[in-house]
Amino acid sequence: MFETVLLALYILLTVVVGIKVSVKVRGRLMELGGVLPEVSQWTAAVYGILAILLAVGLEIVVVLGFGGSVLRLMVALAFAVGPIEEGVKVLPFLLDGREKPARWRLTLNTALMFALMESSLYGAVLLLSGNLIGALFRIVVIVFHVAWTAIALEGALNGSLMRGYLKASLLHSLYDAPALLAIAGAGVGILLPLTFISGAALLITCAKVDDAFEAAYSLVWDTVGETQGRGAG
C-alpha cells in the first residue's frame, strides 16, 4: 500500500515538473527559432526512426541478457535505458556535417520525433490494456526527452559531449527507476530513498534546462559574430 502511495506521489511530481519544463522548453525554442538555421523535418524524422530502431534493438539485448528474473531485468533496464536512449538521440550531432547551430537544432528536433514515436507506441499499448492514465502520462515524457537532449548538448557546446551525455543519461535513468523497481516488487526500503533521489533528479532537470538553452544562445551569437567578422574582413 505504501509503495503505491509513493509511486502516486512521484507521478504527481513528474506531471507538475513536466508542465514547468514544457513551458520552459517551448518558450526557449520559440526564442531561438528565428535565429537558428532551418533544418529539414524529414531529416529529423529519419534520424528519429533510426534512433527508435537502435534503442529498441539495444533494449531487447538487455531484456535477453537479464531476463532471468523480473527484479534483475528491471534493475538492468533502470541502468541501461537512459544511456541507450540518450546515446541514440545525439547521433545527428555526431553524424551531420553542418555547423553546430544547425546540428543542435536538428538534434533537438530528432529528440522530439523520438519522443513522439516512443510515446505513441507505449500509449497505444497502454490504451489497449485499458490503462488510460498511463497512456496520458506518456505525454509528459515527450518534453523530458527534449530537455535531456538539450542537457547532453550543453556539454558538447561547452567542450565535452561525453560529460553532457553522462549527465543526461543519469537524469533519464533516475526518472525511470521508481516505476521500474515498483513493477519488480521492490520494497519500501528501496523505493523510499529512490523516490526522493529521482524526485531531486526531476527538479535538477527542470533547473538545468535554462543552462542548456543559454549555451545554445551563446553558440548562436558567437556564430553570428564570426560570420560578421569574416564579412568585414
The 10s digit of each residue's pLDDT in 162-182 is 999 999 999 999 999 998 888
C-alpha cell at 222: 558567437
Alpha helices for 158-187 (secondary structure H): 161-183
Count Cβ atoms below 10 Å from residue 81 Cβ, excluding itself.
21
Query: Average pLDDT of the chain?
Result: 87
Separation of alpha carbons 98 and 219, rounded Å: 14
Share above pLDDT 70 across residues of the chain, in percent, rounded to a whole number: 92
Instruction: Give the gyration radius of the chain's Cα atoms.
Output: 19
The structure's pTM equals 0.90
Q: Is the model more confident about 70 or about 107? A: 107
Give the per-residue pLDDT at 228: 43
- For the stretch 173-229, pLDDT in tens is 999 999 888 888 878 888 889 999 999 999 999 999 998 988 888 877 666 555 444
C-alpha cell at 202: 526531476
Q: Is 113 exposed, middle or buried (0-12, 13-18, 19+ CB in 10 A)?
A: buried
- For the stretch 107-148, pLDDT in tens is 999 999 999 999 888 888 877 877 766 777 777 788 999 999
Confidence of residue 232 (pLDDT cuts 50, 70, 90): very low
What b/e sequence results for 143-163 when a residue is b if at least 16 CB atoms lie within 10 Å of its CB, and e otherwise?
bbbbbbbbbbbbbbbeeebee
Confidence of residue 231 (pLDDT cuts 50, 70, 90): very low
Chain centroid, CA 200 distance in Å: 16
Contacts of 153 (CB under 8 A, 6+ apart): 90, 93, 104, 107, 108, 161, 164, 212, 215, 216
**Is residue 52's pLDDT more than 50?**
yes
Q: Residues 156, 106: contact at Cβ < 8 Å?
A: no
